[in-house]
A and B are shown apart, each in its own frame.
Chain A
């Protein structure tokens, strides 16, 4: 009775702890996003003030006709504009003259009028240029006044910039203090519950289904039957935490069926599957439904890419983060502030994931029409959104060329090392498997042939027979 009570309490504490930790994490992420935004805004404002200052200086320079480079450029550009205008007028005159002279009998008269008009145009042009020069440099240059006014302006803008900086810094600090206080409070609560939880855990013996400390996934006599076909036959093995585990076998050996059983796309005919969710919790996977598997910390990819083609790449990642949205349906119906905050935070997270994978350039494009290697990478990025404990990759290198496969191997290793996840993959590309896997399991017709390091598998006679046929 006491044991049952304790188990119940442990579950309750865990739920509370998860909520508190989630909230604290969300607050932290959100504050980071907001701080970055605020900083950017302040920077933009300061930049705009600086731009304004230089523009005002130019105006002053023109007013006092100070011959610096900017004014010279301005005058030159204005002169250029007028010259262009007159060029076209002259050209029109020329064409009309040619047309008239071809028709007319008395060519000299036409020629005379043409030359008169051309001279007039030239005069006009020179006059206009003169007026421009007069406008901008006719007054005597007055350097002293210019310098004093520019100095005044500079002081003013510098003051304003300093003011903005002070304001933004103070508001940033306020915001940071507020969120830090909240986070600290949450952490305090979290610590309280954590201590209680661990005390309880020490007292009671938790049912971890006999899993060893370092085992994350255990299959125990898994059997799957389609009618008369025995696709998986009493298969059992352990996957250790933090390793890259490869499942190999000839075509039709039942590898993908094993994956589908683990992720509950198929209901196993017989056998048990256990998964270590965290240090305390071990779950019995048979009890869960397909869409609940992701919450236990297992994410998968598919053999032939299954993306949402009508959404952009970043929205695809947000679909993967579906379980991270805490707002309910009615909150979504009126787009509450919380939903907007969540969206902001998760979008930032998706961008970070895309940067890590190296796909940030494809952020806003639709996956339809992108190269196959990139689609595979998007699927991989999708799995990283929920920070899983285990990633299941179904033939990640299928359809990739050699260079892409090498890159993929690097990426998988990088993900394992940086995210500290366990990776469980099925692959036909033996080069990739032998290169990256720590442990390899070979199956044939649903039965386990051998399990061990890649080298052991390579030297195993049963495996060779299965692949190459018996001698």
Chain B
């Protein structure tokens, strides 16, 4: 008996030490999403829930790249939509139409993202704040116009659709459960990898360098951090994340048309990062769920909102105003503080119970 107790205590200790590792939470989150797929195949969840989850994961990947740029680098960008669109069209053109292999397409998309990120970074070198946002907005719109007019690549105004994809020599045709499940699993894997990459960047000298660039450029420079290098790096990282998000997007929805990648999409990503908390991965996921997931899963089914979609934008706007006014650190800060308060309250209740049970008060 005593030995079993020891073994259990040891196990608990080890589990606690493992659960403190940041990867643990990510993998648990991925498993929860995977369990949702399992439930749907059992017939317990509707397909719309899985759709919501997929979209939340895809947009989280984009938002994580954006948070590296905004939350850590302190650089505002409004050209995210163009990059996501670019990713989707690369997938649609090179893999869907051109018949290039899946891995090669990913490599090409990363290379293109790198080039675009470098370009934006170089343009932005001497520009800060508002003006940077305006310039990136211009770049995003340029990309959109490019998508519309260059129709051999994007299919023009009607867009591209992806009917099937091939991975590891296996062909997946759209329209059946097999396709759906495979895409969902690919999205989960990419989501976990993106989270791992993000936390690794944040908790390494690069993350600190980005933060110091945001806080004080002169201090960063005098500590040997090259502003040019890290600005370019921030832009490159965010564009690679965005383009990969686009690739996942077209895999999931099977189509992409240019007018979709407009300013309001970029603003939604910005809103998601700000509402959730620009420096926390879980915060970003919460933000993405509030901005995108609620729209897809809840608000579209309420007649009040679905009859006039402009109200959804207003809802998002009110959310941003409230969060920025009361919780500048994002909703994750609110959750953390309330969790802390709850803990204190529970401890107080426990103390009261103990004094009631064992303590003697002076009469």
Chain B residues with Cβ below 8 Å from A315 are: 208
Q: Does A255 contact B (CB under 8 A)?
A: no
Contact A308 B205 (CB under 8 A): no
Contact B216 A319 (CB under 8 A): no
Q: Given the complex of chains A and B, what is the CA–CA distance between A291 and B218 in angstroms?
A: 10
Q: Does A311 contact B (CB under 8 A)?
A: yes
Q: Does A320 contact B (CB under 8 A)?
A: yes
Q: Does A322 contact B (CB under 8 A)?
A: yes
Q: Which of B162-170, B245-253, B354-362 lies at the interface with chain A? A: B354-362
Contact A263 B224 (CB under 8 A): no
Chain A residues with Cβ below 8 Å from B227 are: 291
Size class of A's contact patch? Answer: 35 or more
Contact A335 B204 (CB under 8 A): yes
Give the distance to chain A from B319, nearest Cβ to Cβ, in Å: 24
Residues 189-205 of B, flagged 1 when their CB comes within 8 A of A and 0 if not, give 00000000100110111
Q: Does A15 contact B (CB under 8 A)?
A: no
Q: Which of B184-226 contact A (CB under 8 A)?
A: 197, 200-201, 203-206, 208-209, 211-212, 214-216, 218-226
Q: Does A356 contact B (CB under 8 A)?
A: no
Contact A309 B201 (CB under 8 A): no
Q: Does A175 contact B (CB under 8 A)?
A: no
- Quick one: given A318-B208, A339-B204, are A292 and B224 in contact (CB under 8 Å)? yes
Contact A84 B204 (CB under 8 A): no
Give the distance to chain A from B3, nearest Cβ to Cβ, in Å: 12
Give the distance to chain A from B64, nearest Cβ to Cβ, in Å: 13
Q: Given the complex of chains A and B, what is the CA–CA distance between A325 and B206 in angstroms?
A: 10
Closest residue of chain B to A299, judged by CB? Answer: B222
Q: Does B233 contact A (CB under 8 A)?
A: yes
Contact A322 B208 (CB under 8 A): yes
Q: Given the complex of chains A and B, what is the CA–CA distance between A368 and B240 in angstroms?
A: 34
Q: Given the complex of chains A and B, what is the CA–CA distance between A339 and B207 in angstroms?
A: 13
Contact B360 A308 (CB under 8 A): no
Q: Does A334 contact B (CB under 8 A)?
A: yes
Give the distance to chain B from A329, nearest Cβ to Cβ, in Å: 6
Q: Does A47 contact B (CB under 8 A)?
A: no
Q: Given the complex of chains A and B, what is the CA–CA distance between A451 and B118 in angstroms?
A: 50
Chain A residues with Cβ below 8 Å from B360 are: 84, 87
Q: Does A218 contact B (CB under 8 A)?
A: no
Contact B209 A332 (CB under 8 A): no
- Quick one: given A84-B358, A332-B206, A334-B200, are A308 and B215 in contact (CB under 8 Å)? yes
Give the distance to chain A from B128, nearest Cβ to Cβ, in Å: 17
Chain B residues with Cβ below 8 Å from A403 are: none
Chain A residues with Cβ below 8 Å from B216 are: 306-308
Q: Given the complex of chains A and B, what is the CA–CA distance between A85 and B358 in angstroms?
A: 6
Contact B208 A311 (CB under 8 A): yes
Q: Given the complex of chains A and B, what is the CA–CA distance between A81 and B360 in angstroms?
A: 11
Summed over the interface, the residue pairs from A and B with CB atoms below 8 Å come to a total of 98
Contact A332 B201 (CB under 8 A): yes
Contact A291 B221 (CB under 8 A): yes
Contact B211 A308 (CB under 8 A): yes
Contact B222 A310 (CB under 8 A): no
Chain A residues with Cβ below 8 Å from B233 are: 329
Contact B208 A88 (CB under 8 A): no
Contact B359 A294 (CB under 8 A): no
Q: Given the complex of chains A and B, what is the CA–CA distance between A81 and B358 in angstroms?
A: 7
Chain B residues with Cβ below 8 Å from A339 are: 204
Q: Does A178 contact B (CB under 8 A)?
A: no
Contact B226 A319 (CB under 8 A): no
Chain A residues with Cβ below 8 Å from B200 are: 332-335
Closest residue of chain B to A323, judged by CB? Answer: B224
Chain A residues with Cβ below 8 Å from B223 are: 294, 319-320, 322-323, 382
Contact B221 A322 (CB under 8 A): no
Q: Given the complex of chains A and B, what is the CA–CA distance between A315 and B203 in angstroms?
A: 10
Of the candidates A85, A322, A329, the one having the most CB atoms from chain B within 10 angstroms of its own CB is: A322
Q: Does A467 contact B (CB under 8 A)?
A: no
Q: Does A357 contact B (CB under 8 A)?
A: no
Cβ contact of B212, chosen from A84, A295, A299, A311, cutoff 8 A? A311
Contact A294 B224 (CB under 8 A): yes
Q: Does A290 contact B (CB under 8 A)?
A: yes
Q: Given the complex of chains A and B, what is the CA–CA distance between A26 and B219 in angstroms?
A: 26
Contact B205 A325 (CB under 8 A): yes
Q: Does A198 contact B (CB under 8 A)?
A: no
Cβ contact of A332, chosen from B204, B219, B279, cutoff 8 A? B204
Q: Given the complex of chains A and B, what is the CA–CA distance between A311 and B215 in angstroms?
A: 10
Contact B222 A308 (CB under 8 A): no
Chain B residues with Cβ below 8 Å from A192 are: none
Of the candidates A87, A318, A333, the one having the most CB atoms from chain B within 10 angstroms of its own CB is: A333
Contact A322 B225 (CB under 8 A): yes
Contact B219 A308 (CB under 8 A): yes
Q: Does A79 contact B (CB under 8 A)?
A: no
Q: Does A265 contact B (CB under 8 A)?
A: yes
Q: Given the complex of chains A and B, what is the CA–CA distance between A327 and B233 in angstroms?
A: 16
Contact A84 B218 (CB under 8 A): no
Closest residue of chain A to B6, judged by CB? Answer: A52
Closest residue of chain A to B203, judged by CB? Answer: A335
Closest residue of chain A to B71, judged by CB? Answer: A310
Q: Given the complex of chains A and B, what is the CA–CA distance between A372 and B233 in angstroms?
A: 34
Chain A residues with Cβ below 8 Å from B214 are: 310
Ranked nearest first, the 6 interchain pairs of A and B with the lowest CB-CB distance are: A306-B219, A332-B204, A294-B224, A323-B224, A306-B216, A290-B221
Give 11 pairs: A residue, B residue, CB < 8 Å, sorted on A.
A84-B359, A88-B357, A265-B222, A308-B216, A310-B211, A318-B208, A319-B209, A319-B211, A332-B201, A333-B197, A333-B201
Besides A302-B219, A308-B215, 4 more A-B contacts (Cβ < 8 Å) are: A290-B221, A295-B224, A307-B216, A308-B216
Binding site for B on A (CB under 8 A): 81, 84-85, 87-88, 263, 265, 289-295, 299-300, 302, 306-311, 315, 318-320, 322-323, 325, 327, 329, 332-335, 339, 382, 386
